[in-house]
Structure 1
């Protein structure tokens, strides 16, 4: 099938968010930031310089800056380029061959280029935990909360958040730092994510991270 043509739509605001079943509070000493599939191949499916991609990139950038300041692990999950049919498996039947061998297509968007000390993990399935060492990375750094952002909300974001929950890692899905094929699918993904995690806005999460900061010299 391949990627659809995505029309511009507005990011959800706080008033439109579903009520989260969980009441967890974010803690920068326990949390890691996960940025899913923010590669040119996927991001270019959105209309350039319009909603939701403008807010998507800027909000992820803001989360990444604060995460780095607070010493939170920052993890990028990226689909490998030029996968062989045996590597792609059933995903090829639904989404086609994936990213080709052009380096520009597989690169993470320039605004979010990974920095030294940040982690980049291959993502061969929409669930970032599957066939990767994401779980081991989080455990090795004593992290049992994960902030999930990126694309696409009803695929990688939702599946990754659900797997985190099933592995006793508290997921926080940032409603205006994810995007999807349409506003309807975006909203649907948030409703499902709210059943097993916390759905919040970028501004609210940035505020709560600052409020929850534990002085490192204490």
Structure 2
């Protein structure tokens, strides 16, 4: 009656995405980003070292930073840790007591923890619109496009996309930023959205579409000052007190945060691997590696 242990599978590549029936243009000024149910409770049904979960987290972290840097509101859904029988109603029959049995797992996973200015909505049903102010919030923000990522694809993510469509809010399902009970159900979700209720996009296409529209503006993660500000924020250090030659691991930078940076650089065609960064984990050394990688990309005509 509860959620089963979930197998890992390979995150679908963009080449495997279904063909979209509509050709909407993603517009950051009209969009909000919904991070759906990424609570420790729901993530814990996957294997601890699941490659699927690592890919999902990398892409969600990259998307969240992209949204933050482009003024796109970030909205979370999260089930409360205390739910009475009336609140859960038929969910009891389908899934048992849920978080009532594991209240300590209620928080959003650390790598995606909500920040100041983010919106967190209580989640009561499959669709994020049910018994929530999501539609009112989007209207107040002047947003009629919704990026959707998180878990689980064929349940809450799909129902939210369909509900958005029926409310004349354009849903964009990020096909490599959701995870599901199985590859088959993941693919079913993408196929249904692409053919009946919205558009399917990849993480790279969301970020790259805006980059093409701003050809002269380098993303801050590729600039000296932008990267310095990002890392100082990650380690909770004031920039003017930050020592660029100090060991970043000693500062408190962890492997998840490092992988998120690597993922973002890759979105922009810049390849640096974890081993290179770990050899000399200082800001100045990382900036040297980044400049070298950027110059290589420029020589090849990719940036």
How does the TM-score come out when normalised to structure 2? 0.68
Matches within 5 A, 1:203-214: 203-212=204-213
CA contact (8 A) 2:41 2:102 kept: no
CA contact (8 A) 1:27 1:212 kept: no
1:76 aligned residue: 76
Alignment pair present for 1:87 and 2:87 = yes
1:38 is paired with a residue whose SS is coil
Deviation at 1:102, TM superposition (A): 4.9
Return the index of the structure with the highest Cα Rg.
2
Q: How far apart, CA to CA, are the structure 1 residues paired with 2:6 and 2:79?
A: 20
**Superposed CA RMSD:** 1.2
- Determine if contact 2:175/2:201 at 8 Å carries over to the other structure: yes
Are 1:13 and 2:21 counterparts?
no
- Once residues 4 and 25 of structure 1 are traced to their aligned partners in structure 2, the CA distance between those partners, rounded to angstroms, is 38
CA–CA separation in structure 2 for the residues paired with 1:211 and 1:104: 43
1:146 is aligned to 146
The equivalent of 1:47 in structure 2 is: 47
Preserved CA contact (<8 Å) 2:10 2:52: yes
2:104 — aligned with what? 104
- Render the CA deviation track for 1:172-201: whole Å, top value 9, x for unaligned: 000110000111111111111112211011
Give 3-state SS (helix, strand or coil) of 1:100's partner.
Answer: helix
Residue 60 of structure 1 corresponds to: 60
* Higher strand residue share: 1
> Whose helix fraction is larger, Structure 1's or Structure 2's?
2
Matched with 1:201 is 202
Structure 2 residue runs without a partner (length 5+): 215-303
Listed one character per residue, the Cα deviations across residues 10-36 of structure 1 (whole Å, up to 9, x for unaligned) are 000011101111100111100000000
Point out which structure has higher relative CO (alpha carbons under 8 A, 6+ apart).
Answer: 1
Structure 2 distance, partners of 1:212, 1:86, is 49
Pairwise CA distance, 1:147: 0.0
Give the TM-score taking structure 1 as reference length: 0.95
Deviations 1:101-155 (A, max 9, x none): 6553100000000000000000100100010000000000100000000000000
Cα deviation, 1:46-79, whole Å, max 9, x if unaligned, reads: 1122221111111011000010001111000111
Distance 1:48 1:201 in 2: 25
Kept in 2, the 8 Å contact 1:82–1:98? The answer is no
**1:91 Cα deviation from its structure 2 partner:** 1.1
Which 4+ stretches in 1 moved above 4 angstroms?
A: none
- Matched with 2:32 is 32
Partner of 1:216: none
Unaligned runs of 5+ in 1: 214-218
Whole-angstrom distance in 2 between the partners of 1:212 and 1:113: 30
Alpha-carbon offset, residue 211 of structure 1: 3.5
